[in-house]
């Protein structure tokens, strides 16, 4: 009983390889987009935090503990 090996030009193999390539491309582009969005959001958060007056927690804690 000899098992037939996949031929390199087998349509199914080509099809699966194509799907893998496409999936990888879309995933990487999606990741890049998400990355950019996250970076932008982080930048906005940082800008807001810098513009807003920060409550100094450690000072309040020190006065309470004394």
Tell me whether residue 59 is in a domain: no
Where residue 33 falls among pLDDT bands split at 50, 70, 90?
A: confident
Distance from C-alpha of 52 to C-alpha of 59, rounded to nearest angstrom: 18
Tell me whether residue 55 is in a domain: no
Task: Let me know: does 27 contact 35? Beta carbons within 8 Å.
Answer: no
- pLDDT tens, residue by residue, 39-52: 888 877 777 666 66
Tell me whether residue 15 is in a domain: yes
The domain of 18 spans 10-48
Q: In 3-state terms, what secondary structure has residue 19?
A: helix
Distance from C-alpha of 38 to C-alpha of 46, rounded to nearest angstrom: 12
Q: In 3-state terms, what secondary structure has residue 5?
A: coil
In this prediction the pTM is 0.34
- pLDDT tens, residue by residue, 15-30: 777 777 777 777 777 7
Residue 6 confidence (pLDDT) above 60: no
Structural domain total, the chain: 1
């Amino acid at each position: 009983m000899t098992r037939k090996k996949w031929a390199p030009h087998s349509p199914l193999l080509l099809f699966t390889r194509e799907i893998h390539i496409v999936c990888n491309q879309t995933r990487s582009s999606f990741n890049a987009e998400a990355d950019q969005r996250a970076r932008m959001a982080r930048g906005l958060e940082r800008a807001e935090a810098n513009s807003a007056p920060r409550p100094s927690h450690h000072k309040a804690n020190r006065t309470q503990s004394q």
